[in-house]
Amino acid sequence: MMSILLMKMDLGHLLVILTLLCTGLQGAAASEWGYWGKNGPESWPGICTTGKKQSPIDIVTKDAIELNSIPLNFSQYNLAFPATLDNNGHSVGIKLHGAPIHLRGAYVPSGFVLEQMHFHWGAEHTVDGLRDPLELHLVHYNTQYANLSEAAQHGDAIFVISVLFKLSRYDNPHLKPIVEATKKVSCKVGRSTAIKGELIPSLFLPKNYKSHYYYIGSLTTPGCQENVGWFVLTEKLTVSQSQVNVFKRVRGDNGRLLYNYRPTQKLNDREVYKMTWHGLRAD
């Protein structure tokens, strides 16, 4: 009888521990920054608060300077790659494995490779004040540096492609393997899982990527390093509300990530360009 009571007690303790792990209530694991509360964006340190070229921004379409530009070149983006997805406590990130995937064209010199992809729900960049439900960031860095962290310490060493998603009644089929992988890591910060099948990066770009907004900004998470080149594609992909809801169930160190976007920052004296390829090489 006593052994049965001990077994029940142990099981009860185990359930409490598992609940704490999945609800992010462990005080020791509390994040140093987040998206609300005392660790929210208003309290992010250093250049996050003092910088003058911070991201994201609200893109005011009537104020964008229109230019004819060489289109972006997504080398190797049409190939299939094995991929892993992880819950880092602030988003879900995707790492592709295999041959380097290069970004070229427009203002991008050679030697920039895709480091990782991650999502923000709702979108971080707004267009004429409208916030879409989802935004994908494809982060590229200059390979003359050892890694992304080192590249972040240098000007013009990082370029980010931003893809906005508008709401649809229907699931986006290309997001399905990512959504399923997200379910597996949603309550475990630091958990990684293989994405079923292989990912083709070009499926996460709109068919028309020859038109985009370009500006100089920053990383949108601490330490908010500046001199990041942002390409916000004008054409959007689609996502269903049920798919967005899966992202909203991801748990970070301080509870469920109902949203993980940084508020838009002041443009200050920066210019925003609308770059469009019209078939003639730009001067």
Q: Please identify which of the residues 13, 90, 137, 278 carries the catalytic annotation.
A: 90
Residue 235 has φ and ψ, to the nearest 5°, of: -80, 140
Residue 237 has φ and ψ, to the nearest 5°, of: -95, 180
90 is annotated as an active-site residue = yes
- 199: tokens are 């990912």
Q: Beta 58-59 vs 126-127: how paired, if at all? A: parallel
Q: Beta 192-194 vs 211-218: how paired, if at all? A: unpaired
Amino acid, single-letter form, for residue 124: E
**Cα 238 → chain centroid:** 16
- 86: tokens are 């992880």
Residue with tokens 């530009």: 69
DSSP state of 130: B
Rounded Cα gap, residues 25 and 92, in angstroms: 19
Which of 35, 53, 57, 55 is CA-nearest to residue 44? 35
Whether residue 251 contacts residue 187, with contact meaning beta carbons closer than 8 Å, is answered with: yes
Kindly list the catalytic residues.
90
